[in-house]
């Protein structure tokens, strides 16, 4: 799932407005999106408050602070043509949930790797940046799922790499990925497979900005990129000379909260409301991610094993 900066630290979005907000950061593809390539279909403004879901909020909750990270390209968070308004799949889901719950959102932008650690301090009420649900993260974070995405690989078209089913296929290569992501954690945890097999270990190259990841690949400083499935597919479709290798590990993606949050039941009910009224499908179709649909929202489910 990681960036362009905006000068305003906090943007205010009403539940019925169309102001700026964001998400998707970390795990977006990082390719600079052209304004005319960014979908602009309004899939949120028709959403209405649902009393049953809203009643699940803690008493007195009328606004929440959400931390987001800008990825730079669809389906992750990017800018509209005005260079100020943020849009993306996670943006639409965040706005839609806010409308279902009848709350206002104060949007604060942060680097992807800084969001989860800041939730426990109360700096933010939740994070919306394509956070994959892992067992490691569940130790300190609660999640409310809304899509299924995961980990994949891409490389240059002239590469001899094909489908990657074992990290040993990466031995001796330079692998570019986002800092603080599940990809970095997966790669670091698996480094031993190369030395265990008597091979030269792969090198993990982490970048705070996703655009730097793709530059490193295109310029030959790295051999392969590990990132989100949806982000990789977008990058390959919009950049010449790239090829998508394969899905490696599917993950549920969810809104992130501090452990023990009382907000989770309301958010779960809101996502399920979007699933029931058709808004959910409209959001996925807008961003070309129908393959990431879930049947129902869950609270902190176990990490998918595949």
Residues of the chain with pLDDT under 70: 1-36, 72, 306
DSSP class of residue 47 equals -
Specify the DSSP class assigned to residue 299.
B
E strand or H helix that includes residue 293: none
The pLDDT value recorded for residue 8 is 27
pLDDT at 14: 28
How many whole angstroms separate alpha carbon 97 and alpha carbon 216?
A: 37
pTM: 0.81
Q: Are 204 and 225 contacting, i.e. CB atoms less than 8 angstroms apart? A: no
Total residues found in the chain within this entry? 306
Angle of the 279-287 helix axis to the 89-101 helix axis, nearest 10: 160
Q: State the Cα angle at 183 between 190 and 84, rounded to 5°.
A: 165
Secondary structure of residue 87 in the 3-state scheme: strand
- DSSP 3-state percent helix, strand, coil across the chain (nearest 5): 30, 25, 45
pLDDT of residue 34: 56
Residues 274, 272: Cα–Cα separation, whole Å: 5
- C-alpha closest to that of 26 among 267, 230, 238: 230
Q: How far apart are CA 52 and CA 273, in angstroms?
A: 10
Q: In whole angstroms, what is the distance from residue 273 CA to residue 45 CA?
A: 15
Phi, psi of 144 (to 5 degrees): -125, 115
Report which of 242, 237, 193 is spatially closest to residue 222, judged by C-alpha positions: 242
The span from the CA of 252 to the CA of 297, in Å, is 10
């Amino acid at each position: 799932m990681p960036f362009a900066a905006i000068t305003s630290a906090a943007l205010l979005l009403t539940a019925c407005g169309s102001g700026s907000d964001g998400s998707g950061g970390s795990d977006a593809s990082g390719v600079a999106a052209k304004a005319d390539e960014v979908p602009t279909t309004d899939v949120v403004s028709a959403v209405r408050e649902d009393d049953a879901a809203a009643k699940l909020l803690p008493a007195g909750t009328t606004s929440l602070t959400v931390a987001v990270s800008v990825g730079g390209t669809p389906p992750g968070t990017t800018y509209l043509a005005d260079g100020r308004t943020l849009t993306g799949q996670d943006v639409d889901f965040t706005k839609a949930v806010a409308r279902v719950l009848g709350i206002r959102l104060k949007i604060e932008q942060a680097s992807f790797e800084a969001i989860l650690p800041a939730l426990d301090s109360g700096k933010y009420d939740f994070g919306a940046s394509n956070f994959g649900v892992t067992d490691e993260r569940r130790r300190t974070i609660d999640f409310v799922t809304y899509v299924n995405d995961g980990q994949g690989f891409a490389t240059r078209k002239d590469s001899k790499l094909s489908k990657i089913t074992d990290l040993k296929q990466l031995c001796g290569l330079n692998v570019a990925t986002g800092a603080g992501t599940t990809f970095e954690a997966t790669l670091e945890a698996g480094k031993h497979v190369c030395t265990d097999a008597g091979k030269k270990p792969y090198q993990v190259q982490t970048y705070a900005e996703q655009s730097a990841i793709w530059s490193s690949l295109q310029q030959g400083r790295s051999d392969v990129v590990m990132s989100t499935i949806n982000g990789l597919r977008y990058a390959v479709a919009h950049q010449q000379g790239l090829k998508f290798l394969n899905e490696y590990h599917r993950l549920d993606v969810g809104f992130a909260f501090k452990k023990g949050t009382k907000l989770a039941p309301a958010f779960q009910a809101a996502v399920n409301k979007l699933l029931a009224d058709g808004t959910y499908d409209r959001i996925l179709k807008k961003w070309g991610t129908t393959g990431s649909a879930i049947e129902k929202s869950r609270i902190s489910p176990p990490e998918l094993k595949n």
